[in-house]
Chain A
Amino acid sequence: MSMTTVARPEETTFELVVGMEVHAQVLTQSKMFCRCATDYQGAPPNTRTCPVCLALPGALPVINRAAVEATIRTGLALNCRINETAVFARKNYTYPDLPKGYQISQYELPLCADGYLEIDLEDGSTKRVRIRRVHLEEDTGRSVHEGGYSYIDLNRAGVPLMEIVTEADIHSPEEAYAYLTRLRATLRALGVSSGDMEKGALRCEPNISVRTLEQKARGEYGVKVEVKNLNSFRSVRNAIAYEMERQIAILRAGGSVEQVNMGWDEERQCTVLQRGKEDAHDYRYFPEPDLPPLRIPREEVERLAATLPELPAAKRNRYEQAWGLRRTEANILSGEAAVARFFEEAVAAYGESDGKPQRLATWMTGELFRLLYADGEGQDLRQIASIKIRPTQFAALLKLVDDKVINPNTGKKVLEIMYVTGEDPQVIVEREGLAMVSDVSAIDEAIAAIFAANPTELARYRAGEEKLFGFFMGQVMRATKGKADPAAAKERLLQLIRG
């Protein structure tokens, strides 16, 4: 045991540095370079193929305009420069599910470059994550391993993929999570990608390194490790946290981090070595001779810019500033286009004054989302687009509560019925006899019966045991099947209980 006093590595402070590569499948009818359909999910193997995506000898690629437009719109939403000339390039590597032996991608001159995406930090401030480039490429096929054999399904080969690459601007697992959340919301708002990570439509590959503050001061970086095989935002966050700890532990022990590719083991919640540096590919990029450079006229970019919808960040700000929403609800409601649409239509029917949007937001994120989450396929808020309740009906329900036709607890019950049947709330209230009882004589009648049935409790209350008031209040609500106006019931009870 020594009591050394020199600066010890275990006391060194490290900064996490993460750059993110995201691949997003572009929502188009046909593939990137042929006319085959992109609806490969669930399709019998190799039924969405043609000479081009099977890489038959002599077949040639033709650029899908819709995919180019979607990528330019994404670039514009991410504040990128749109290059006037974009070039496709061949990325050469050998793999059975890569039929041409090269992937048509972009190398020099991508479609979009030098942008940023603003994210929210936990302390309420915002931060810009710089976007290095957004380019377009084609997806590979899939290998299926079964019974000791490997099969190739080329239905996915040639589906358009956008690659969105950030600068190394992310410094915590939470920032990575926030970046991905905002990016996916943006892609969905644009309608350019489903963003479904579990279906493989969105894939994230973080480049993770750590550096000392001295390295930072000198503008140096640590050795990067790329992590693949991440299938949820949560696993991205966990993998970054794990890698950060792993790398720091290595450095503190006096070792050095190797530049490798790691995979994420979801079960064991750790990263495992996939490919060492010695296996690094030389992709031998060169311009794709089958596709002339793509000229993108300024007018075309302007035309596409005019088609951009209000993006999630702007929506969030509007909900806060114009409607007085709290940050939490504003973020949730602006993050998904379908949710925002429902909310805004409901506000239009309900009203913008007197804190109404916030009341609506509370009901939506609380009561309606609880029903949504309990229903269907997990926590996917996009299901709101297909529920039976219409935004106007939802607004009508809140008006019934405001007008004291029903009390809030009854409102929740009515909402549950609406969720199942899609009926108007008024219809349900009438049929089920749920209208609130504020008629004083009916309440008084109920109170008298309760006093008669509970003489002991009444005596104890009158002797000073005031906490029994809650008991009597509960009895009144039960006697009126929850329909009593709570304020009126309380007022009458207070008056009568004193005797």
Chain B
Amino acid sequence: MSKALYELTIHEALEGMRRKEFSAVELTRSLLERIEQVEDQVKAYLTVTADLALEQAAAADTRRRAGEEAPLLGIPMGIKDVLCTAGVRTTCGSRILENFIPPYTATAVQRLLDAGMVLLGKTNTDEFAMGSSTENSAYFPTRNPWALDRVPGGSSGGSAAAVAAQEAMAALGTDTGGSVRLPASYCGVVGLKPSYGRVSRYGLVAYGSSLDQIGVLAKDVRDAALVLTVMAGHDPHDSTSMPAPTPDYRAALTGDVRGLRIGLPEEYFIVGVQPEVEAAVRRAIDALVDLGAEVRPVSLPNTDQALPVYYLVATAEASANLARFDGVRYGYSAGADSILENYRLSRGRGFGAEVKRRIMLGTYALSAGYYDAYYLKAQQVRTLIKQDFERAFEQVDVIASPVAPTTAFRLGEKTDDPLAMYLSDVFTITLNLAGMCGVSVPCGFDRQGLPIGLQIMGPHLGEEIVLRVAHAYEQATDWRRRQAPLSIEA
């Protein structure tokens, strides 16, 4: 029984096009048809660029006929709508940028386009990536393809849902406190968060500048490794991007984890974790042991400080980052008579509740008289959290944990309780604070059929090792073969 083209992984599709079994245009048409079929249920995209996608696909076919073999030639992908795309509306899930069309393209996206990617559209996100469920999008919530009454996670929920619903072969997300890994876990796909500085942030609309990193949502680890290989590396436009050379991450996928030391942090296996989630993660670790890895307990004692630290650092940076949305040069402008009134109305109407909450929190944390107690203290504790990881990585090669305490929750379940929502990120934000890398890989389902994610964390610039472990585990199991049970109207 042959698969529909939209069901293929990137590697399968590249192989198919190489063998001239189908063209990039046919592949793209298949994805666009799939979007047509399921998008009403999933609502993963804020903008679908069908015409542009077919143009780019035709151009990819021309390049291929001319003998070119770019790494993503003709591969249709979705891009989270916080990444600037020249000529294509970029809203950040916010009313304030409803009609904003950037004149330039984010470096990471440009590298994918140069490698032949076909842009299917811009995926839904919590407003300015602030959220854990994609319900903070000013436009509409995205639904989890595995259970349409549940959230896909956030903030890269549109990208995760698009990949899970096979509306994109892969998608870019951004991860400031778990925003790639959490939706990957909830949607049963692979989510890779590279180390801080591994991928250029130029053109990523900033939320928490010292935490933001562009990541990949993909159907399997190999695809994620390929996309990272294409977009990683130093960018002269981003002074925080690392000069370290970029390997071909696929070469790290040896399947061999013998003798590899996996750390289990006691702080991540705590009361409050859904028992099925803990059981699935422990089974996954057993599977890695069966493959020859060793398990050691490690301690990350400052883990319980991570949430408050994150909500001080990220919001402080956000309060400044979002000051540029003033209704003067671009975006929504209320058209009031005085400049002060125009600031007040443009920002008051343009931003949603969660964005305003974080701007206020961050402004407060930086205010005279509070800076030392909040922002400065948070930065000091952040250093301690980072040192926890550095010490742990002296003893182990990777650290394994659940991605989130639970599986996907219901739409609306936590929208009135910001703190409960924030707790979804408790196992993922530590890595952002430490600047290190991690991957979420599917490791089972709960009784309701909702996906569970295994988090593999690695040291700074340790992408090869986390991808190797995730890949070995993935290949030893069958989780990736399950598909979200979307009903398709004939």
List residues of chain A with CB within 8 A of the CB of B366. Answer: 92, 284-286
Tell me if B433 is interfacial: C-beta within 8 Å of chain A: no
In the complex, what residues of B have CB within 8 A of residue A292's CB?
239-240
Among A58, A63, A101, the residue within 8 A (CB) of B320 is: A101
Q: Digitize A288-300: 1 where CB-to-B-CB distance is under 8 Å, 0 elsewhere.
A: 0111100000000
Contact B320 A102 (CB under 8 A): yes
Query: Do A291 and B239 touch (CB < 8 A)?
Result: yes
Which segment, of B1-9, B99-107, B245-253, B396-404, faces chain A?
A: B99-107
The verdict on A282 contacting B326 (CB below 8 Å), with A57-B100, A60-B239, A62-B237 known, is no
Which of A48-56, A208-216, A416-424 binds B?
Answer: A48-56
Determine the residue in chain B with the shortest Cβ distance to A91.
B320
What secondary structure prevails in chain A residues at the interface with B? loop
* Stretch binding the partner chain, chosen from B163-171, B219-227, B367-375: B367-375
The answer to the question of B284 belonging to the interface, with a C-beta cut-off of 8 Å to chain A, is no
Residues of B within 8 A of A285 (CB): 366
Is the Cβ of B323 less than 8 Å from the Cβ of A94? yes
Chain B, 299-337, CB within 8 A of any chain A CB? 316-317, 319-320, 322-326, 328-330
Provide the residues of chain B in CB contact with A59, threshold 8 Å.
104, 202-203
- Chain B residue numbers with a CB within 8 Å of A62 are 236-239
Q: Are A56 and B103 in contact, CB atoms less than 8 angstroms apart?
A: yes
Q: A101-B323, A102-B323, A284-B363 are in contact. Are A58 and B329 (CB under 8 A)?
A: no
B83 beta carbon closer than 8 Å to chain A: yes
Return the contact of A92 from the options B206, B320, B325 (Cβ within 8 A).
B320
Question: Roughly how many angstroms separate A289 CA and B84 CA in the complex, as a whole number?
Answer: 20
Complex CA gap A60/B203 in Å reads 8
Given the contacts A90-B320, A96-B339, A102-B320, A58 and B102 also touching, CB distance less than 8 Å: yes
Residue among B97, B201, B319, B367 making CB contact with A60, cutoff 8 Å: B201
* B38: interface (CB < 8 Å): no
Return B478 CB to nearest CB of chain A, in Å. Answer: 40
Residues of B within 8 A of A60 (CB): 201-202, 237-240
Q: Give the chain B neighbours of A63 by CB distance below 8 A.
A: 239
- Enumerate chain A residues within 8 angstroms of B415, measured Cβ to Cβ: none
* Of A57, A92, A290, most B-chain CB atoms within 10 Å: A57
Q: Report how far A282 CA is from B364 CA in the complex, Å.
A: 11
CA distance A150 to B337 in the complex (A): 11
Bound: A90/B366 CA distance, A: 11
CB <8 Å contact, A100 and B316: no
Q: Mark B356-397 against chain A: 1 for CB-CB distance below 8 A, else 0.
A: 000000010011100100010000000000000000000000
Cβ distance A420 to chain B, nearest Cβ, rounded Å: 51
A61 within 8 A of B: yes
Q: How far is the CB of B126 from chain A (nearest CB, A)?
A: 16
Does residue B22 face the partner (Cβ distance < 8 Å to A)? no
A109 to chain B minimum Cβ distance, whole angstroms, is 14
Give the bracket for the number of chain B residues in contact with chain A.
35 or more
A222 contacts partner chain B, Cβ-Cβ < 8 Å: no
Q: Are A57 and B209 in contact (CB under 8 A)?
A: no
B343 interface residue per 8 A CB criterion = yes
The answer for the CA separation of A60 and B92 in the assembled complex, in Å, is: 17
Interface residues of A in 261-293 (CB under 8 A from B): 282, 284-286, 289-292
Indicate whether A99 reaches chain B with its CB closer than 8 angstroms. Answer: yes
Given A290-B209, A292-B239, residue A94 in contact with residue B326 (CB < 8 A): yes
| Nearest Cβ on chain A to B131's Cβ, whole angstroms | 18
Instruction: Flag if B239 contacts A56 (CB, 8 Å).
Output: no
**Residues of chain A with a CB closer than 8 A to B138's CB:** none
B239 to A289, Cβ gap below 8 A? no
B204 within 8 A of A: yes
Residues A99 and B320 in contact in the complex (CB < 8 Å), given A150-B339, A286-B375: no
CB-CB under 8 A from A290, the residues of chain B are 206, 209, 238-240
- Cβ of A284 and Cβ of B367 under 8 Å apart? yes
Which residues of the other chain, A, contact B83 by a CB distance below 8 angstroms? Answer: 58
- With A58-B205, A290-B239 as known contacts, state yes or no: A99 contacts B324, CB within 8 Å: yes
A223 proximal to B (CB < 8 A): no
In chain A, what residue has the closest Cβ to B369? A282
| Alpha-carbon gap, A317 to B108, bound state (A) | 58
Q: Known interface pairs A56-B103, A94-B326. Does A61 touch B367 (Cβ–Cβ under 8 Å)?
A: no
**Smallest Cβ distance from A48 to chain B, in angstroms?**
15
Shortest B189–chain A CB gap in Å is: 25
Indicate with 1 or 0, residue by residue over B135-172, a CB within 8 angstroms of chain A CB atoms. Answer: 00000000000000000000000000000000000000
* B323 in contact with A61 (CB, 8 Å): no
Does the CB pair A282–B239 fall under 8 Å? no
Interface residues of B in 174-229 (CB under 8 A from A): 201-206, 209-210
Known: A51-B104, A102-B320, A290-B240. A58 touches B203 (CB 8 A): yes
Contact, CB under 8 Å: A96 / B104: no
Given contacts A60-B202, A101-B323, A150-B339, A55 and B329 within 8 Å (CB-CB) = yes
CA distance A152 to B328 in the complex (A): 9
A57 touches B97 (CB 8 A): yes
What are the residues of chain A within 8 A of B371 when measuring CB–CB?
Answer: 284, 286
Bound Cα distance A58, B104 (Å) = 10
Establish whether residues B102 and A289, one from each chain, have CB atoms under 8 Å apart when the complex forms. no
Closest to A51 in B: B104
Which residues of chain B come closer than 8 Å to A51, judged between CB atoms?
102-104
Per-residue CB proximity of B234-272 to A under 8 Å, as 1/0? 001111100000000000000000000000000000000
Residues of B within 8 A of A101 (CB): 320, 322-324, 326
Q: What CA separation (Å) do A90 and B203 show in the bound complex?
A: 20
* List of A residues within 8 angstroms of B368 by Cβ: 282, 284
Q: Which of A56, A100, A286, A291 contacts B323 (CB 8 A)?
A: A100
Alpha-carbon gap, A285 to B468, bound state (A): 42
Given contacts A62-B239, A286-B375, A290-B240, 20 further A-B contacts (CB under 8 A): A54-B329, A56-B84, A57-B84, A57-B100, A57-B206, A58-B83, A60-B201, A60-B238, A60-B239, A92-B319, A92-B323, A94-B323, A94-B343, A101-B323, A102-B323, A284-B367, A285-B366, A286-B366, A290-B206, A290-B239
Q: What are 30 residue pairs bridging A and B, where the CB atoms are less than 8 Å apart in the complex?
A: A54-B329, A55-B324, A56-B104, A57-B84, A57-B100, A57-B325, A58-B102, A58-B106, A58-B203, A58-B206, A59-B202, A59-B203, A60-B202, A62-B236, A62-B239, A92-B323, A92-B366, A96-B326, A99-B329, A100-B324, A101-B323, A282-B368, A284-B371, A285-B366, A286-B371, A290-B209, A290-B238, A290-B239, A291-B240, A292-B239
